[in-house]
Amino acid sequence: MKPMVKKVLAGIAAVSALASVVAGREQPSFAPAPTPKVDTRLQTREDIDLAKLEARVDEGARIDAFAPKNFSPVVPPQANAREGRREAPALPFRYIGKMVDGGKLAVFLANGADSFTVTEGERVGDYRVDQITEAEIRFTYLPMKTKQSLPL
């Protein structure tokens, strides 16, 4: 590169650096419009009794918003005859489907994450399958010899 070209390029770089410094110091030629002041404070009316509102704040402080709540219906206490008699637990099974296997009706049941197939006379945990019809499955809870049914 010739020395003359180097001097011209150096001059252009110096002028552009000087122009960027001068351009950064300029003031805007217009002034922004002043924004109107807005009163954001709560406006009160003269007919409101603030003492009543403060009393409600004190009452609310006694209530725990995060306390556990019971939404189950209130069950009235039963007669003494029922207290002595225990009942079998609810059936833990859920009906999934049915099929005919070798001329016998087999039913698919689910108990939580487990699923299995049962036919009449089989034992499933503490339960025995007594009868399978088109409308229901009849079980016997073996520890208490209690009959229960599961509708299909």
Q: Write out the chain's pLDDT in tens, 152 residues.
A: 788 889 999 999 998 888 877 766 666 666 677 777 777 777 767 777 777 766 655 555 566 778 788 787 877 766 555 555 678 889 999 999 989 878 888 899 999 889 989 999 999 989 999 999 888 999 999 998 999 999 88
Give the strand pairing for 94-101 and 104-111: antiparallel
Residue 54, CA distances (Å) to 33, 58, 61, 63, 96 in order: 42, 7, 11, 15, 58
> Quick check: pTM over 0.85?
no
Comparing CA positions, the residue from 28, 150, 35 lying closest to residue 96 is 150
